[in-house]
Chain A
Amino acid sequence: MPKWFTPAAAICGLMFAVAPVLIANAPYESTMGLVQKIFYVHLPSAWMFLLAAIICGVASVRFLFRGDPRQDRLAWAAAELVVLFGVVTLVTGPLWARKAWGVWWQWDVRLTASLMGWMVAVAYLLLRRYGGPGSDKLAAGLALFGMANVPFVYISVNYWRTIHPTTNVVPTLPASFGLPLWFSAVTFLLLFVLLLRVRVRLEEQRARLDALYLSMDA
């Protein structure tokens, strides 16, 4: 593991300990009250979900055009994080919506596109696990669809009718709401980087083991 990993993990742990204090001290939103505090984990996990989908897509493109196995390992690691942060987003969202909107789910563009993006990542992982030889390139193609879906998820709330808040909410947040949000977002980003590094390390070790097995057979 790189030298920065352990200090970064310690900082991340510390930030995860401080974040609940900031969130608890944040004011209640006027119409939603207590349940709005789900926002501080829902939004950062949604950002990580989209970031992971972009990393998976870009790494897949580079793998398809250059055939670099390191990019393939990065794409695989990122696809797992799409599933992880996607499931966090898709579970915390409905828990918030139940109280704020009165329904668990709405088939609007943002929610549906998010679910689709998550399902693409699940399909990617299933393909890598059970697809057999050649599944790496097929899965890379699938990751492109996952990445192409990201702008739809992001801008959909501004163009289609929905009860989901628009993208204008975050830039106009008062500091009392903004500070815990950005702190939480940085914490999630740090965790994301650490998890991605560990997951890539797992693939590197697997590749090393495979190379050893092949050298044994030769």
Chain B
Amino acid sequence: MKLLAALLVLVGLCAAVTAPALEAQQPSQPQQQDEFVPIDELPPQDQLPAAPLLVAAYSFVVLALFAYVLSVARRLGGVQRELERFEAELKRSGRT
């Protein structure tokens, strides 16, 4: 009986100590909205303009395609030159 009473006291003490801490951890309710804020009045860190993202996307497409075309043209030019040089060499040595 004494043990049970001691346990009850212990549980009561624990609850008393942890209750305020748990209450502090509860997510606070979002404040009720009582006005609409135009987007241009938001602080700068909360605004996300679309134009830079759009410009970045289109710029990336143009640059990527241009870089690839340039890369293929450069590689094709290199192989073509080597082929011509090789064929000329073969012709000179009379092997073809």
Indicate, yes or no, whether A interacts with B.
Answer: yes
* Chain A interface helix/strand/loop/mixed: helix
Contacts of B80 in A (CB 8 A): 205
Is B24's beta carbon under 8 Å from chain A? Answer: no
Q: Are B68 and A84 in contact (CB under 8 A)?
A: yes
Q: Interface residue tally of chain B, by bracket?
A: 20 to 34
Decide: A41 and B82 in contact? CB cutoff 8 A: no
Contact B68 A34 (CB under 8 A): no
B31 to chain A, nearest CB (A): 20
Q: Judging by beta carbons under 8 Å apart, are B90 and A195 in contact?
A: no
List CB contacts (< 8 Å) of B44-96 with chain A: 48, 50-51, 53-54, 56-58, 60-61, 64-65, 68-69, 72-73, 75-76, 79-80, 82-83, 86-87, 90, 95
The residue on B at minimum CB distance from A102 is: B48
Which residue of B54, B56, B83, B90 is within 8 Å of A37 (Cβ)? B54
When distances are taken between beta carbons in the complex, the residues of chain B under 8 Å from A195 are 68-69, 72
Among A34, A95, A96, A201, max chain B CB count under 10 A is at A95
CA distance A74 to B87 in the complex (A): 25
The answer to whether A202 and B68 touch (CB under 8 A), given A34-B50, A99-B50, is: no
Which one of A62-70, A85-93, A144-152, A153-161 is at the B interface? A85-93
Partner of B83, one of A33, A42, A98, A208: A208
Contact of A191 (CB < 8 Å), options: B48, B65, B76: B65
What residue of chain A has the Cβ atom nearest to residue B64's Cβ? A88
Once bound together, how far apart are the Cα atoms of A146 and B57, in whole Å?
25
Indicate whether A209 sits within 8 Å of B83 (C-beta atoms), given known contacts A33-B50, A88-B64: yes
B69, A88: Cβ atoms closer than 8 Å = no
Interface residues of A in 176-218 (CB under 8 A from B): 191, 195, 198-199, 201-202, 205-206, 208-209, 212-213, 215-216
Docked Cα-Cα span, A80 to B67, in Å, equals 13
Q: How far is the CB of A199 from chain B (nearest CB, A)?
A: 6
Given contacts A198-B73, A206-B79, list 5 more A-B pairs with CB under 8 A. A92-B57, A95-B53, A95-B56, A98-B53, A195-B69
19 A-B pairs in the complex with CB atoms less than 8 angstroms apart? A33-B50, A34-B51, A35-B50, A35-B53, A41-B57, A84-B64, A88-B60, A88-B61, A88-B65, A95-B56, A96-B53, A191-B65, A198-B72, A202-B79, A205-B79, A205-B80, A205-B83, A206-B79, A212-B86
Query: A-contacting residues of B (Cβ < 8 Å)?
Result: 48, 50-51, 53-54, 56-58, 60-61, 64-65, 68-69, 72-73, 75-76, 79-80, 82-83, 86-87, 90, 95
